[in-house]
Amino acid sequence: MLAAIEATRHGAGSVLLLDRSLIGRGGATVMAQMTVAAAVGPGDHWQYHLADTLAAGRGLCDPELAALLCRVGAECILEMDDWKVGWARQGNGFAQVQAPGHDRARCVYVDFLSTGPAVSRTLRTQLQRQGEGIRRLGEILVTDLVVQNGTVTGAVALNVATGQPITIAAPATIIATGGLTRLYARNSASANMSGDGYALAARAGARLIDMEFVQFFPIGHLAPRLIGMDPIMWDPFRYKLGGRLLNGAMQEFVERWGGDAEDGTYSTTRDLATYAITKEVEAGRGSPNGGAWLSFTHVPEATLRAAFGPVIDRLAANGIDLTRDCIEVSPIAHYHMGGIRVDPRMRTDLPGLLAAGEAVGGANGANRLSGNAITEALAFGRIAGAEAARIAALPAPAFNPAAAAPALALLSSTASMRNIAALVARLQHLMAQHVGPFRTAAGLNQASTALAALAAELGTAPPGTPGIPHDLNRQDWLDLRQMLLVAEAVIIGAIARTESRGAHQREDFPALSPAWERNLLLRLPAGATHLELA
């Protein structure tokens, strides 16, 4: 949304904003409940934020992209404040909390657990203020880009509401499709996070970077079943109230796996907490459902209420009383550090194609600091929008409908009925089992073989006939086609990287190797069906 706003502000006369879901409601942004990191507090500077970001990235951050995230991101946070997003206040400034890995309290938020909805709402309002220049269309699922002599000239998409294909001509296209965590059985994703953008870019011929780095969020909600709240909601509780992470025997354990004693504070980084919980469960000391306990029973009720007000009632509706009950948590797929390779102007390898947000790889290296993702989405959206406006004003090749023909033919094709939802579920389980935070050559190779079997079952055309409104089975097919390519990218990267670093941990190569302080790039050669290291 910010990319579209910025393109208009930079003179683009005609912007088309497409979303496979409702505009501004289908992705991760609206779901984010927590905090946003930006150097906007007294005494802070974006370079301090950059130093923390680079340290967390364990040598793999693209320093230019990381610097843009921190510098432009802070500007965006202030602009969002001008736009009345409602960042929580303390005294004369913003209320800011300290998240693990940051050297100070740097994370702004909107109470109570409303950061994402507030950000989305604010951007939507600004979008509408731009008037006729931006056309917004929801329920348009982009399935392929149109490429003419190496230049991206538009896209082919499915109109979900009618089941009919459409083509779009554009002198500049920005991929801002978010991440890939729907690949995993346990995730914090929406239905729209199948990694479409990575697959779109790769199929068009652009390179992907760092695809092996999937961030697992250590304390995703596990049990009891909690509805109406996103599974990573315990993080803000930990920021504000500390809380205690305990094993099945109600003992603290993070120290045992190399962490520092927490003493009721929240100081363990995501990769370490994920490791500690997984190892504790493997050692047979997990909670009943295979995770760890999180306890706030030592926090007085008045303190809980002051910090989270209405959320305490929502928990009560789920039968959870934090003064009495511990909850079970375990790692879930949450964010993807890798993505489409771009330059500091968000241009991909292909003329006419840009990327923004979580779809971009490289800014966060091997591990992302908490709060950096919304900042990244805003900063890169702003840069990409301005650059796209500049590109759109230059002469561009005329759109050639023939270049869109194969992608249109796919959407118009017919095949026998099959249950694709079940195949998606199989992929999710296989990724969770073999390509989670802890990997081995044997497991990754098994995953690779299983992926080939799924690809064979997928076939070459979506099930049923075109033209059926809201046909989830055909959509699942189109999604699985992209997910299989994206899963292959993660697996190839994970097999190649024979070391452990940040979010990528190889049990057969447990040490960090200085020789591996480099990025892995992948490309899909023209006409090929499998990715290669580039």
Q: Which residues bind to another protein, rule: CB under 8 A?
A: 21-23, 25-26, 30-31, 33, 116-117, 136-140, 159, 161-162, 166, 188-192, 224-231, 318-319, 417-422, 425, 464, 468-473, 476
Output 196 or 476, the one with its CB closest to ligand FAD: 196
Minimum CB distance to ligand FAD, residue 178 (Å): 3
Number of Cβ within a 10 Å radius of residue 255: 12
On whether the CB atoms of residues 401 and 91 are closer than 8 A, the answer is: no
For CA atoms 440, 444, 449, 450, the dihedral sign is: positive
- 36 contact choice in ligand FAD, another protein, none (CB below 5 to 8 Å, kind-dependent): ligand FAD
- Those residues whose C-beta lies under 8 Å from the C-beta of residue 29, and which sit 6 or more positions away, are 116, 119, 120, 178, 374, 377
Q: 138: how many CB neighbours lie within 10 A of its CB?
A: 16
Residues lying near ligand FAD in the complex (CB under 6 A) are found at 18-21, 26-29, 31-36, 115, 141-142, 176-178, 188-189, 192, 196, 230, 232, 335, 357-359, 371-374, 377
CB closer to another protein out of 200 and 226: 226
Closer to ligand FAD at the Cβ: 280 or 471? 471
The DSSP code sequence of 290-336 is SSEEEE-TTS-HHHHHHHHHHHHHHHHHTT--TTT--EEEEEEEEEE
Q: Which does 471 bind (CB under 5 to 8 A by kind): another protein, ligand FAD, none?
A: another protein
Given ligand FAD, another protein, none, residue 136, with its beta carbon under 5 to 8 Å by kind, binds another protein
CA 159/CA 165 separation, integer angstroms: 6
Partner from ligand FAD, another protein, none binding residue 476, C-beta < 5-8 Å depending on class: another protein
Q: What is the largest CA-CA distance in the chain?
A: 67
Check: CB of residue 62 under 8 Å from CB of residue 24. no
Neighbour count for residue 225 (Cβ, 10 Å) = 8
Nearest approach in angstroms of CB 181 to another protein is 11
Active site residues: 270
Angle at 389 between CA 388 and CA 395, to 5 degrees: 90
C-alpha 254/C-alpha 43 separation (Å) is 32
- The residue count for the chain: 534
Residue 136 tokens, joined = 């917004």
Tell me, rounded to whole angstroms, the distance of Cα 58 from its chain centroid: 19
CB of 25 to another protein, least distance (A): 4
Query: Least separation, in Å, of the C-beta of 22 and another protein?
Result: 5
Q: Rank residues 335 and 509 by Cβ distance to ligand FAD and give the closer one.
A: 335
- Could you tell which of ligand FAD, another protein, none binds residue 176, using a CB distance below 5 to 8 A set by kind? ligand FAD
C-beta closer to another protein: residue 214 or 233? 233
Min dist CB 189 to another protein, Å, is 8
Nearer to ligand FAD, 378 or 389 (CB): 378
- Cβ proximity to another protein: between 147 and 226 the closer is 226
Cβ distance 359 to 176 under 8 Å?
yes
The residues pairing with 354 across neighbouring beta strands, listed in sequence order, are: 174, 347
**Burial profile 69-96: b = 16 or more Cβ within 10 angstroms, e = fewer:** bbbbbbebbeebbeeebbbbeeeeebbb
Min separation Cβ 377 and ligand FAD, Å:
4
Residue 419 binds which entry of ligand FAD, another protein, none, with Cβ cut-offs from 5 to 8 Å by kind?
another protein
CB of 511 to ligand FAD, least distance (A): 30
Among residues 84, 60, 81, which one has the least CA distance to residue 212? 60
The interface partner of residue 3, options being ligand FAD, another protein, none and the CB cut-off 5 to 8 Å by kind, is none
